[in-house]
A = this chain, B = another copy of it.
Amino acid sequence: MFAFHNGRFVQEDETRIHFDDRGLTFGDGIFEVLRTINGRLLFFTEHIERLLASAAFFGMQMPYDEEQVRTTARELIDRNRVTDGELYLELTRGVDATRRHRYPRAGTPPTFFMLAFPLRPLDSGNWERGATVYTYPDLRHGLCEHKTLNLLPNILAKNAAYEKGGYEALLHREDAEGRYVTEGGSSSYFCVRDGQLFTPAVRNILASITRQKVIDLARAMGHTITESRVGLEFLLGAQEVFLVSTVSKVMPVRSVDETSFPAPGEMTRRLMAAYEGVFVAGFEPI
């Protein structure tokens, strides 16, 4: 398998990263994960624009423009003969001589690499009968509108869910009004109450591309969506719950902890079907 690293195609299992890469020592970097099928890239423009916006926010240099990434990504996918897979992009603030918090001096090259690999094995039963989900405290930082490398709280939450046989964790914070649910460990979520859709507003959660596609789709279908704080009790009292992400697409939720939901529910079923059209149309032509 090949990787694309700082301008070159290299073997993925070659070790190319320095001990002093700020991605490795400080989590000083960002990433994207895209879906690829038959050499086409799903919502490529949206992903690369989000990466560029986060790079600008953190003051990181992105050494390639959108067209260069597109061309290189396609070659990488082609070289690795990935037909149905994932494309991973990572950008870090580069290598500094010794570990210092201070940003490297201007002109220090960033580290950029891409990996392309077959789609992770997924249990189709999660779409047919719904996924099991477990709640976990949201221990994340205040930079969750960006896809940063600071993912240890997500790792803990998702692995706690995996240990119980779950598919995903739903993260909750607490304030004076009680517990509220922010997002999944690597997905967004919606719930349905009385025929209306609810999902958290983008405040320290990711402006998920799939989330926005589903919002646009649901509105086009005439549904009402409220973007606001979703209390845990409110969520547990919903008629339907579903996850959305690049890999999960629209995935019904069968249970959150001990609470069961019909899966897929009526609204979820309609959105799953409609999203397939968005999904297919969202792949950039070769």
Contact = CB atoms under 8 A, between A and B. Distances in A.
A148 interface: yes
Contacts of A90: 19, 24-25
Contacts of A101: 151, 154-155, 158-159, 185-186
Nearest to A139: B142
A26 B156 CA distance: 11
A134 B241 CA distance: 44
A19 B19 contact: no
Nearest to A17: B17
B26 A151 contact: yes
Interface string A21-46: 10111111001010000000000000
A204 to B, nearest CB: 9
A141 to B, nearest CB: 4
A73 to B, nearest CB: 15
Interface string A120-150: 1000000000000000011111110000111
Interface of A: 3, 5, 12-13, 15-21, 23-28, 31, 33, 58, 88, 90, 92, 98-103, 113, 115, 117, 120, 137-143, 148-156, 158-159, 162, 176, 185-186
Contact of A98 (B5, B31, B120, B159): B120
| Copies of this subunit | 2
B99 A24 contact: no
A152 B28 contact: yes
Given A15-B18, A113-B19, A151-B150, A24 B24 contact: yes
Contacts of A156: 58, 143
A41 to B, nearest CB: 17
A142 to B, nearest CB: 3
Nearest to A98: B117
Point out which of A21, A98, A100, A186 has the most chain B C-beta atoms below 10 A from its C-beta.
A98
Given A5-B19, A15-B18, A17-B21, 19 more contacts: A3-B19, A12-B20, A17-B24, A19-B90, A25-B151, A26-B154, A27-B27, A27-B150, A28-B152, A98-B120, A101-B158, A137-B142, A138-B142, A139-B141, A139-B142, A139-B143, A141-B150, A141-B153, A149-B152
A88 B98 CA distance: 10
A151 B28 contact: yes
Contacts of A138: 142
Nearest to A93: B155
